[in-house]
Amino acid sequence: MGPYRFGGGTAVVTGAASGIGEALAEQLATRGSDLVLLDRDAERLAAVAGRIRAAHPSLAVATTVVDLADDDATVRVAADLAAAHPDVTLLVNNAGVALGGRFDQVTADEFDWLMSINFRAVVTLTRAFLPALKARPGSHLVNVSSIFGIFAPPGQAAYAASKFAVRGFSEALRHELAENGVGVTVVHPGGIKTRIAETVRVGSGVSAEEYEQGRAQFAKLLTMPPEKAAAQIVAAIERRRPRLLIGWSAKVPDVLVRLLPGSYWRLIARRAGRQVGPPARD
């Protein structure tokens, strides 16, 4: 499969109002891609789209406001967008949320809320746009997992479950779509400096003191600018890389998991501790 060609195609990006999604939208526009941008934050999304339109007046930039936690709304929006944009050649499932708390500290509703955004929305959007991608050999799919799709720390049962699911879904699709000439990249970001530490949801059973300790600890890990992470993702798309680990906070744990699959946490915990907090991502 040759390099992905950005110009002349349409890219769909979820979670495009901030962080990695915003940076990806801007860099894809620079490469010549028309854009379909999704987010639940209407004001921020409009601002991102406005800047891109001003900088690239020849490109088509469409926006859709949707809360991916609403399964029914996600299905409707995905179907409508797939019908309106049959020329899509790139889908980036980037949107994600965090939920701090051990499994016994989060309710079933809280767990399901996270899974609806982090995993079910990925499946729904992929299902809707897959016919368009398959109809254009050379298209590409990107699903953003996390380093917590490589290893699973205590206090992140829900988040790790969703990101391991994204990883497995992506790897199976990569094998299935190879015969159609569609590339698939799964991305595992480490400590990216975005709003996730500010917007993390806390399980109902987590004390304020426990959460604040974890939030402050994880916030210190969020150091890489989202623009740098986005540049690596764009390069991975172009080169058809199947897997992308971003940052040493992703690469080092990946090695530890490979070497010590059953006992890696004892080493990681010496540095990270066992606090509850948002994941080093998004």
Q: What is the DSSP string of 72-139?
A: HHHHHHHHHHHHH-TTEEEEEE-----EEB-GGGS-HHHHHHHHIIIIIHHHHHHHHHHHHHHHSTT-
The Cα 125–Cα 133 span in angstroms is 12
- Name the amino acid, one letter, at 11: A
C-alpha dihedral sign at 64, 17, 226, 206: negative
Neighbours of 126 (CB within 10 A): 19
| Phi, psi (degrees; rounded to nearest 5) at 240 | 65, 35
159 classed as catalytic? yes
The closest alpha carbon to 147, from 175, 115, 186, 196, belongs to: 186
CB 118 within 8 A of CB 156: no
Beta-carbon contacts of residue 25 (< 8 Å; ≥ 6 apart) = 13, 16, 35, 37, 48, 52
172, two tokens: 């199976």
Contact 40, 15 (CB under 8 A): no
Q: Which of 4, 159, 211, 264 is catalytic?
A: 159
Give the 3-state secondary structure percentages of the chain, helix then strand then coil, rounded to 5. Answer: 55, 15, 30
Q: Would you please indicate which residues are annotated as catalytic (active-site) residues? A: 159
